[in-house]
Chains A and B, each alone.
Chain A
Amino acid sequence: MTDNSKEVSVMPDSINIEVAPVSRVEGHGDLVLNIKDKKIEKLIFRIPESPRFFEAMLVGRNWDEPSHITSRICGICSVAHTYASVKATEAAMGIQPSDFILKLRRLIFHHEMVQSNVLHVYFLAAPDFLGVGSVIPLVKTHPEVVNIALRLKKMANDMVRIIGGRAVHPIRTVVGGFTKLPTEEEMYKMKDMLKAAYKDLETSLAVLKTLDIPDFERETEYISLAQPDEYALYDGTIKSTDGWEIDSQDYLDKIKEKVVKHSTGKHCWANRDAYMVGALSRFNNNYEKLSDNAKSYAKELGLQAPCYNTFMNNIAQFVEIVHSVDDSIRLIDELLEDGMDENKRMVDFKIQPGRGVGAVEAPRGLLIHDYTYNSEGKVDKANLIIPTNMNYGNVERDMQALVPDIIDKPEDEIRLACEMMIRAYDPCISCSTHFLNVKLINK
């Protein structure tokens, strides 16, 4: 289906870049960039990833199955999909989990975010900044960075394992609560694991300060969840830096999507022709809600809200790791004060027909599940809006802004800058859609 060759034309004074597929992103995406006489002739970020048809798979399934099914949309953000799904079902049926359950959900939610942000910052993006091809040569050139990454990732994955029963595709995280709770002993163990992470965060800060983040600015619309009293990840209203804020149940009032020919992932837009979601959007909308410690890390790294440099998305991800560690300790203290008691694991509920929307912040940005249940508690209709889909349009517009500035540079540099730009988005294309590979044909 991806016949890359037909995009390539050999013309004097023309550059044809194909990044097909882009590696070190979680899905499968191609960048097609044709430049002629120093002008962009054609620029497409294309998703030839195999479509999965989750919206069809869900039809007719029983209310307790969608979270297990949709978790399989993405291995790296399976907790986010699980909770978008669980929340949609709970909203449809009027189920209100207890504060205790919501706190434990926020705790596990933090650690998928940490796991994913660590993987992206250290394994996928850092090799670019440190000038090596990938994490495997990084093992030789920067073993201390790799070891920090492995420790932080293990900490976060172990948190998800303890609370969710498994690091990828959690088991215990169900409609109405948890099938099983962590023990008090496990809660204390998690707190110790979190405290041990600070040393690695400090060392990371020193490494990140030495990175040369490309100088690039393009203001766009930044959309994320927002909450009055916390840095919104698990729940919130949908907020834009363009000044609008809506209840997540009303997402269709603002967020539009369409099928475009070069992509199996649908493209989205809201107030403008494209918008950005992810860590930088969350940071721009919710900076004030970060922990003081995370704010001081941001300051040290030169990240200020609002930030219009897409490449700083990686820095925002790191700042979020710090915030999540801080906030997790707070949550554990509160949960321990409430008392770990198996009787609190679930709320009572009744199966009812209705429609409900579940919106969460996946590591890569706003994620929405929208289900309609019939009176038997089976799915009649499902709509899923995936963060990477939301970013496609913005990736293309960033490229259009980036390329003219670097057009006189050697081919290899243009190729790397384009790849880095796409990787800055941390595109998890398996959601909808695997990797980028720039082919420069002529100049």
Chain B
Amino acid sequence: MGKPKVGIFGFTGCGGCQLEILNLEDQLLDLVSAVDIVHFTEAITEHSDDYEIALIEGSITTEHDVERIEKIGSIANVIVAVGACAVSGGLNCLKNLYGTQKAAELVYGDKKDWIDTIEVKPVDAYLKVDHYSRGCPPNRFEIVDIVRSLLLGRQPEIPNYPVCVECKRNGNTCVYELGMTCLGPISRAGCDSRCPNSASGCEACRGVIENPNVNAQKDLLAEHGLTVKDIMSQFNLYNACKGKNIE
């Protein structure tokens, strides 16, 4: 079997996930030699419609995005959603929260009809996604692990425990003790608790774990005189499209 052909595609987002792949400085040359990258918007001119694996960054937010994602779905055998925008809609969902038409009017005024924009949705609203590399930005080593797992035919190990586990392992002072709010108790680990490591609250950019201990989060909030309402704004930064499950 030859090297698998991989396409790396950008949809609506900041390009930061593709950049995180380029930021794999120590592993980039190994990655490039292990697979055959036939499309990489941000880095190469070459383009081919012949690929088995599609790494997709960004949300689907325009009719044009819908056409493109459906075409990729018709070609690729394996779909990997990379980053919060592709996985859950991410921060782009703040547009839905504000109101799509209202947002178009605010930004483009009476020229709003020139603009192609639809309700923001994650990739799995259109295609069956095989693997998710969560986070904003995603953990670049996790992207490598997913690709490696695909090559070896095994399942990548994606944590399904809360950020608090990593945060305690890293010996951080609890962010609540520092007078800030944090979504660590319900949020999916895999980021090495990078925000609490920097004395900042977790914003759940990797979404919520499968069976979150909502009561633990509520108890922690109550201990500090807070309610769920006080963290909703923080929660909906990356989870506005799928944001009803903690209320």
Q: Using a CB–CB distance below 8 Å, which chain A residues touch chain B?
A: 1-2, 21, 23-24, 26-28, 48, 50-53, 55-57, 59, 61-62, 65, 68-69, 72-76, 78, 119, 123-124, 127, 133-136, 139, 146, 150-151, 153-154, 157, 165-169, 171-172, 174, 179-180, 259, 261, 264, 428, 430, 434-435, 437
Contact = CB atoms under 8 A, between A and B. Distances in A.
Nearest to B98: A56
Given A53-B117, A264-B115, A430-B14, A172 B200 contact: yes
B10 A434 contact: yes
Given A51-B117, A53-B106, A180-B198, 13 more contacts: A1-B116, A24-B42, A28-B10, A57-B97, A72-B91, A72-B136, A74-B14, A76-B15, A78-B14, A123-B43, A134-B45, A165-B195, A434-B15
Q: Which of A2, A21, A179 has the most CB of B within 10 A?
A: A179
A179 B198 contact: yes
B45 A68 contact: no
Contacts of A151: 25
Contacts of A434: 10, 15, 41-42
B114 A261 contact: yes
Interface residues of B, number: 62
Interface string B185-201: 00000000011011110
B133 interface: no
A53 B105 CA distance: 10
Nearest to A25: B42
A124 B45 CA distance: 9
Nearest to A49: B12
B17 A75 contact: yes
A127 B40 CA distance: 15
Contacts of B222: none
B95 A52 contact: yes
A179 B64 contact: no
A154 B26 contact: yes
B44 A74 contact: no
Interface in B160-203: 194-195, 197-200, 203
Q: Which of A57, A75, A151, A434 has the most CB of B within 10 A?
A: A75
Given A75-B16, A172-B198, A69 B91 contact: yes
A169 B137 contact: yes
B19 A51 contact: no
Contact of A53 (B58, B64, B107): B107
Given A165-B194, A168-B23, A264-B115, A72 B44 contact: no
B233 interface: yes
Given A50-B65, A59-B106, A69-B237, A180 B14 contact: no
Contacts of B12: 50, 52
Contacts of B45: 23-24, 127, 133-134
Interface of B: 10-20, 22-23, 25-26, 28-29, 32, 37, 41-47, 58, 61-65, 90-92, 94-95, 97-98, 102-104, 106-109, 111, 114-117, 136-137, 194-195, 197-200, 203, 233, 237
Contact of B64 (A48, A62, A133): A48
B200 A171 contact: yes
B107 A55 contact: yes
Q: Which of B14, B15, B26 has the most CB of A within 10 A?
A: B14
Contacts, number: 182
Consensus secondary structure, chain A interface: loop
B41 A435 contact: yes
Contacts of A76: 15-16, 19
Contacts of A168: 16, 19-20, 23, 137
B167 to A, nearest CB: 14
A134 B92 contact: no
Contacts of B104: 51, 53
B210 to A, nearest CB: 25
A51 B200 contact: no
3 A-B pairs with the lowest CB-CB distances in the bound complex, closest first: A75-B16, A165-B198, A56-B103
A73 B14 CA distance: 5
Contacts of A57: 91, 94-95, 97-98, 103
Contact of B199 (A65, A139, A179): A179
Contacts of B32: 136, 139
A150 B16 contact: no
26 contacts: A1-B62, A21-B41, A24-B42, A26-B42, A27-B15, A48-B116, A50-B11, A50-B12, A50-B58, A50-B61, A51-B107, A53-B106, A72-B136, A75-B14, A75-B137, A136-B37, A139-B32, A151-B25, A154-B25, A157-B23, A166-B194, A167-B23, A179-B199, A430-B14, A434-B10, A434-B15
